[in-house]
Amino acid sequence: MPAEFTPVERKLIEYAAADYAAQYYGGPFAFGADDAARYVAEGHLRTLVSAHGLSQVAAAVVEHLNRHPELLTRSKADRERGAQLRAEKWQRLITAAGRAFKSADFEHARRLVDDAEMIDPCRNVDGYRRKIADAAAPVLAVVAGGER
């Protein structure tokens, strides 16, 4: 039975495939897509492997590589550029979330943090979420007719 992955776990799989599959594919041992997927899972998705098992995670990587075979032949420069672009987008989203937070637009800040997590799920955004939730709690109590 195939593993059910959360949207964040799916992004981890997609980005690991994009960033690392090409370094394992081919080479002197002529590794195929299945081999590359297994090495990506073993080396770069350890937390998911612990939660779902190697065969399930490797199968999800293979599935992604089958839909995007160009990932198997990306140059190192292309892989690095893709990771850099994601890091820059993550930073822009977190900066925008900070502006929304300072403006007390907590729902918008929360959505921006969620978007940032989908861009780079390896970065922990729990602290941002806690800060937003703590700041929003008194506002929500007043809006809901609670203490004033």
More reliable by pLDDT, 142 or 110? 110
Question: Hey, where are the domains in the chain?
Answer: 7-74, 77-136
- pLDDT (average), residues 109-119: 97
Between CA 138 and CA 147 the distance in angstroms is: 9
Closest CA to 111 of 123, 127, 128, 87: 128
Check residue 4 and report its DSSP letter. P
Work out the number of other CB atoms within 10 angstroms of the CB of residue 113: 23
- pLDDT (average), residues 119-143: 86
Helix (H, G, I), strand (E, B) or coil at 123: coil
pLDDT over 80 (residue 110): yes
pLDDT in tens, 65-87: 999 999 999 999 999 999 999 99
User: Whole-model pTM above 0.85?
Assistant: no
